[in-house]
């Protein structure tokens, strides 16, 4: 007796129900892990700001020497927001606008960076402006620029009179991988 064989083709792809189950599981896992990712994101922004500040200190110094003109790095705060500008001209001519950075009434703005008041990180300084000498490549005054996170983590960028930058964290921070200040 010959019985007809029913050939089943192998299933290819995924059904809509299976896809919805996978999406639901991914959504649940994402919801559970999101609060744990916030400190990592803040840490990354803090270290990124500290690195950018260090880079811009070096930029200001090299621009002063290459342009043979005095260049300043000016830090301003307005309504909780902060910004800094690398520019030529007098420091009082520069103001913070918003997240877009700042503006100077004098020509010669080289770079700006703005940080919103409600952002994860802010920049503070113990001086309003650093002045880079074009002939000697030095900076006055020596200063500490502080990148601060809402959680209290802080990275100090200590700028010497020679324009060198040293990064540290108050009390040392294993979380940030910085030496103690």
CA nearest 178: which of 158, 164, 150?
A: 158
Instruction: From the options 1.10.3720.10, 3.30.830.10, 3.55.40.10, 3.40.50.300, give the CATH code of 38-168.
Output: 3.55.40.10
Each of the 181 residues of the chain gets a pLDDT tens digit; together they read: 566 565 555 667 778 888 888 888 888 877 776 667 777 888 889 999 999 999 999 999 999 999 999 999 999 887 778 888 899 888 777 777 655 566 666 678 888 888 888 888 999 999 989 999 999 989 999 999 999 998 888 999 999 999 999 999 887 766 678 888 8
- DSSP 8-class letter at 107: S
Q: Do 103 and 89 meet the contact criterion of CB atoms below 8 Å apart?
A: no
pTM comes to 0.75
As given in the structure block, the two tokens for residue 80 are: 């909780």
């Amino acid at each position: 007796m010959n019985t007809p064989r029913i050939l089943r083709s192998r299933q290819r792809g995924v059904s809509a129900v299976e896809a919805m189950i996978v999406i639901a599981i991914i959504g649940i896992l994402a919801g559970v892990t999101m609060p744990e990712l916030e400190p990592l994101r803040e840490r990354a922004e803090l270290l990124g700001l500290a690195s950018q500040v260090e880079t811009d200190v070096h930029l200001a110094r090299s621009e002063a020497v290459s342009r043979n003109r005095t260049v300043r790095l000016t830090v301003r705060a307005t309504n909780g927001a902060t910004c800094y500008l690398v520019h030529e001209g007098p420091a009082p001519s520069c103001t913070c606008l918003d997240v877009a950075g700042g503006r100077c009434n004098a020509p010669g703005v080289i770079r700006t960076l703005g940080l919103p008041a409600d952002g994860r990180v802010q920049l503070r300084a113990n001086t309003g402006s650093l002045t880079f000498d074009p002939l000697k490549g030095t900076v006055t005054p020596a200063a500490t620029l502080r990148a601060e996170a809402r959680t209290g983590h802080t990275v100090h960028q200590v700028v010497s009179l020679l324009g060198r930058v040293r990064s540290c964290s108050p009390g040392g921070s294993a979380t940030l991988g910085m030496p103690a200040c």
